Amino acid sequence: MSGSRRFLLVLLVLLVLVGTRATVHAHESQPGMLDIEQLAGDRFEVLWRAPIYFGQPHPAHPELPASWTTVAPSTVRELADSQLFRSIVSVGRAGLDGAVIRFPRLESTTTDVFVRLERLDGTSMTTVVRPTKPWAQLRGERSWRASAADYLGLGFHHILQGVDHLLFVLGLLLIVEGRMTLVKTVTAFTVAHSITLGLATLGYARAPLAPLNATIALSILFLGPEIVRRWRGETSVTIRYPWVAAFSFGLLHGFGFASGLSTTGMPRAELPLALLFFNVGVEAGQLVFVFLALALAKAFRVLELRWPRWAELLPGYTVGSLGAYWTIQRTVILLGVLR
Amino acid sequence: MGSLAGAALLVGHPATAAAHLVTTGMGPVYDGAGHLFLTPEDLVPVLAIALFAGLRGPAAGRRAMFLLPPAWLMGGLIGSVLRVGAPASTPALSFLVLGGLVASDLRAPVAWVSGLAVIVGLVHGFGNGAVLRDGAGTLGLIGIVAMSYVVVTLVAASVVSLRVPWMRIAVRVAGSWIAAVGLLMFGWALR
Amino acid sequence: MIRRASRRSAVLPFGAALLLASLPIPTSAHVERGPATGFLTGLEHPWSGLDHVLAMIAVGLWGAQLGNPAIWILPVTFPMVMAMGAMMGLLGISLPGVELGIATSAILLGAMVAGEVRPRLAVAAVLVGFFAIFHGHAHGTELPPGQNGMLYSMGFVIATGCLHAVGIAIGLLHRWPAGRLVMRGTGAVIALMGVRFLWRALT
C-alpha cells in the first residue's frame, strides 16, 4: 500500500518538474522538406515544408542561390504541424546543376531536412540536410554510398533523440534477468520494430501520429510497475517472458521510427536503400545505448556501490512516472486533435 | 627573469578557449557531450582523475564518481555568471599534477581523491561556463557533466577491475605520458 | 540483468571503447585543421630520425633484459625526463652537441643490450635519463609555427611511448635462449649504427 502511495508522490513531483518546463518534447519535431520540381525549361516550383519547432515557426529558412529569380511571389499555408511555403523561380540559363541551397540558422536546431529535386525528364535526386551540414548541392545523381551514409546518420540521430524509445529500452533492461533473456528481448524488440518500420515506410500500413504517440507512452507506463514488481522479487508474465512484451510493443515503436523517415515523394528506387540504412542506424544507436547502460551497471558493481533503498527504486518509478506523464500529455493532445 | 614574468602573465591571463561548442545536430545536450570528447584540455584531466581513483580502489572511485560531476556543474554555473575564463595555465597544471599522481601510484588517502575531484571539477567547469554562455547554455553544461560522469565511472571501474600487475603498470605509464604533456605545455606557454 | 552480477564480462572496456568510437563521428568534420595537424606532426616527429628510433628501441630492449623493476620504471620515468629536456630547450637553455649526445647514447645503450650488462638500477636510470634529456631537447622543441602546442606534445609523447613498446615487445623474446641471442644481436647492430651516426655528426 505504502509502495503505491510513494509511487504517486514521485509521480507528482516529476509531473511538476517536467510540466513546468517543456523540456521533454520527444518526437514532436518532424523533419523538414524541400521539394524542387521542374515545371518547364528554367522554371521550377519550390515547396518548403517547415515543421513547427517547439511550438514556434521554424527558425531556419532555405536560402536559394542569388542567380535564381522569383517569378511568382511565395504563398504560405498554415498546417497543423507545419508551414508550407510555395514559390516559383527561374534558375537562369546556367541551369541548376551544382547550385547550392543554404539553410541559415538550421545549425542551432535539431531538425533534419529532406531535399528532393525532380526534373521533367524523370531524373531526380534526394539528399538530407542536417544541422551539422546546413546546405545541399543539387546535382544529377548521387552515389549510393552518399545516400546510405545520410540515412544511416538519420536513423542514429533519430533513436538517440527519441527519449521515449530509449526509456522503453531501459525499462526492458531493468526487467530482464540473465544474458540469454537479454539477447532474446533486445532481438525481439529489434525484429518487431523493423517489421512495422518497413511496412509503414513501404506504405502498406499507417498509424496516425497522435494516437500512436499516446500508445507508445502507454507502453512505457506499462513497464513501470513491472520493474517495481521485479525489484520486490515478485514475478509476472512480463518478467518471465519479457520478449513477448518487447515484441508486441516493438511493433508500436516501429511506427514511431517511421515518422522520422519521411518518404513522401522519394524515388521508388531509393526506398529500399533508405529503409535499410535508416534501420541500421536505429539499431546502431540502440546498441550504443544498451551497451552504455550495461557498462554503467557493471561499473557500479565493480565500484561496490550500495544504493539506499529509495535510490534502488528510482529507475522503476522514473520510467513509470514519465510514461504516465506522457500518456496524459499525449492523450490531451489526441483529444485536442479529435475535437 | 623573462620566464618569470611570462609565468606571472600566464597565470593571470584568461584562456582563449574555443568560442563555440561542436555541433552534433542533436541538440545542446549532445553538443555538450561531444564538446568534452573533442576538448583534450578537459577530457584528459577527467581521464587522469578516473585513473588515479581507480588505482586507489573502489571507495576512491565512488568518491570521484559522485563528486566530480556536481563540482563541474557548480563551477560551470559560477563561470557562466562571472564572465571570466579560467587561467590559461589550468590544463597544463591539471595534466602535470594528476598525471604525476597516476605515474607515481601514490598511496594517498581517499580524501585526496575527493579533494582533487572537487578542485578539478570546479576549475574546469568554471572554464566551460565562459564558453557555454554564448552557445548551448545550461543544457550544454548538463551534457558535459553527464558525459564526465559516464567517463569517470567507466574508466575508474575499468582500472579497479584490473587484476594483472602489468596492466596497472600500463595505467601508470599513461599517467607519466599525461604528466609529460603537462610539462611540455608549460614549456610552450613560457617560451 | 542490470542488477545481476555476471562473473566476467568484457562489457566494461567494450562500453568505454564504444563510447569513444561513437561520439566524435558526427562532429569530427568541425575540428579545425591547424590543431589536428599539430597532433599528427607531433606523432611522426620521433620517427623521423633513425638515431632516435634506434636508441628508444634499445631502451625498451634493455628494460626487458633487466627485468623487474627496470622494465616498468624506465617507461614510466622516461617521458617525464624527456619533457624536462624539452622544457630546457623551450626555456632557451642550450645543450651543446645534441647530435653527438644522441649518437653516443645509441652506442652506449646498444652496447649494454649487446653485452646484457646489468648495472645497478641507479646507473641504468642515469644513462637512460641522459639520453631522454637529449631526445626531448632535440625533438620536443620543434613545433611548426601555427600549430597547437598541446596536441603536438600529445602526439610526440604518444609516439615516443609506442617506440618503447616496440622495444619491450621485442624483449618478450628474452624467455627463449635463441631469442636472447637475437636481442643481443639487435643491440650490437644499434651500437654499430650509433658509431655511424657519431661519425656523421663529427665530420
pLDDT tens, residue by residue, B43-56: 999 999 999 999 99
Which pLDDT score is estimated for A57?
A: 83
In a domain, A169, yes or no: yes
Minimal CA separation from B24 to chain C, in Å:
6
Burial of A208 (0-12, 13-18, 19+ CB in 10 A): exposed
Which amino acid is it at A307? W
Total structural domains in chain A? 2
Q: Could you tell me if A23 and A72 lie in one domain?
A: no
Q: Residue C126: pLDDT band by 50, 70, 90 thresholds?
A: confident
Instruction: Please give the DSSP secondary-structure letter assigned to residue A248.
Output: H
Cβ distance A295 to C15 less than 8 Å, yes or no, reads yes
Q: Could you tell me if A167 and A56 lie in one domain?
A: no
| Among the listed residues B25, B4, B49, B12, the one whose alpha carbon sits nearest the alpha carbon of residue B148 | B49
Q: Could you tell me if A242 and A188 lie in one domain?
A: yes
Q: Residue B20: pLDDT band by 50, 70, 90 thresholds?
A: low
Report, as an integer, the average pLDDT of C41-69.
Answer: 81
State the residue for C-alpha cell 613560457. B190
Is pLDDT at A49 greater than 90 in this prediction?
no
Residue-wise over A74-100: b if at least 16 C-beta within 10 A, else e? eeeeeeeebbebbbebebeeeebeebe
In a domain, A151, yes or no: no
Which pLDDT score is estimated for A72?
A: 79
Looking at the complex, does the CB of residue B162 fall below 8 Å from at least one CB of chain A? no
Closest residue on chain C to A288 (Cα): C18
Looking at the complex, does the CB of residue C76 fall below 8 Å from at least one CB of chain A? no
| Among the listed residues B33, B114, B112, B120, the one whose alpha carbon sits nearest the alpha carbon of residue B72 | B120
User: Do strands A32-40 and A113-118 pair parallel, antiparallel, or not at all (unpaired)?
Assistant: parallel
Which residues of chain C neighbour A318 with C-beta distances below 8 Å?
A: none
Cα angle: B37, vertex B38, B44; to 5 degrees: 65
Q: Residue B7: pLDDT band by 50, 70, 90 thresholds?
A: very low
Q: Is A205 helix (H, G, I), strand (E, B) or coil?
A: coil
Dihedral pair phi/psi, residue A49, rounded to 5°: -100, 105
Q: Residue C172: pLDDT band by 50, 70, 90 thresholds?
A: confident
Which residues of chain C neighbour A295 with C-beta distances below 8 Å?
A: 11-12, 14-16, 18-19
Domain range enclosing A227: 2-27+162-338
In a domain, A156, yes or no: no
Of B150, B154, B183, the CB nearest to C80: B183
Residue-wise over C66-85: b if at least 16 C-beta within 10 A, else e? beeebbbbbbbbbbbbbbbb
Is pLDDT at B158 greater than 60 in this prediction?
yes
Which pLDDT score is estimated for A291?
A: 93
Q: Could you tell me if A231 and A212 lie in one domain?
A: yes
| Among the listed residues C197, C172, C191, the one whose alpha carbon sits nearest the alpha carbon of residue C182 | C172
Which pLDDT score is estimated for A3?
A: 44
Q: Could you tell me if A117 and A193 lie in one domain?
A: no
**Residue C42, C-alpha cell as written in the block:** 607531433
Report, as an integer, the average pLDDT of C138-167.
Answer: 80
Q: Residue A189: pLDDT band by 50, 70, 90 thresholds?
A: very high
Q: Which one of A109, A142, A175 terminates a domain? A: A142
Half-sphere exposure of C107 (CA within 13 A, CB side): 12
Is there a contact between C62 and C112 (Cβ–Cβ < 8 Å)? yes
Of B23, B26, B160, the CB nearest to A303: B160
**Residue A54, C-alpha cell as written in the block:** 517547439
- Return the higher-pLDDT residue of B104 and B188: B104
Q: Could you tell me if A10 and A45 lie in one domain?
A: no
Q: Could you tell me if A36 and A138 lie in one domain?
A: yes
Closest residue on chain C to B155 (Cα): C16
As a whole number, the mean pLDDT across chain B is 82
- C86-123, pLDDT tens digit by residue? 888 888 787 777 778 888 888 998 999 888 888 888 88
C198: enclosing H helix or E strand: helix C177-202
Which chains would you list as touching C if contact means 3+ CB atom pairs under 8 Å? A, B
- A158-183, pLDDT tens digit by residue? 888 888 888 899 999 988 888 889 99
Is pLDDT at A213 greater than 80 in this prediction?
yes
Which residues of chain A neighbour B59 with C-beta distances below 8 Å?
A: 304
Chain centroid, CA C54 distance in Å:
10
- Residues 6 or more apart in contact with residue A145 via CB below 8 angstroms: none
Q: So what's the ipTM on this one?
A: 0.80
Chain centroid, CA A83 distance in Å:
20
Looking at the complex, does the CB of residue C143 fall below 8 Å from at least one CB of chain B? yes
Looking at the complex, does the CB of residue B125 fall below 8 Å from at least one CB of chain A? no
Q: Could you tell me if A227 and A126 lie in one domain?
A: no
For the four alpha carbons of C97, C103, C106 and C110, in that order, the dihedral sign comes to negative
Q: Residue C61: pLDDT band by 50, 70, 90 thresholds?
A: confident
Which residues of chain A neighbour B26 with C-beta distances below 8 Å?
A: 110, 157, 160-161
Minimal CA separation from C150 to chain A, in Å:
26
- A59-89, pLDDT tens digit by residue? 888 888 888 888 877 788 888 778 888 888 8
In a domain, A57, yes or no: yes
Of A295, A296, A302, the CB nearest to B58: A302
- Return the higher-pLDDT residue of A310 and C6: A310
Closest residue on chain A to C11 (Cα): A295
Closest residue on chain A to C13 (Cα): A295
Which chains would you list as touching B if contact means 3+ CB atom pairs under 8 Å? A, C
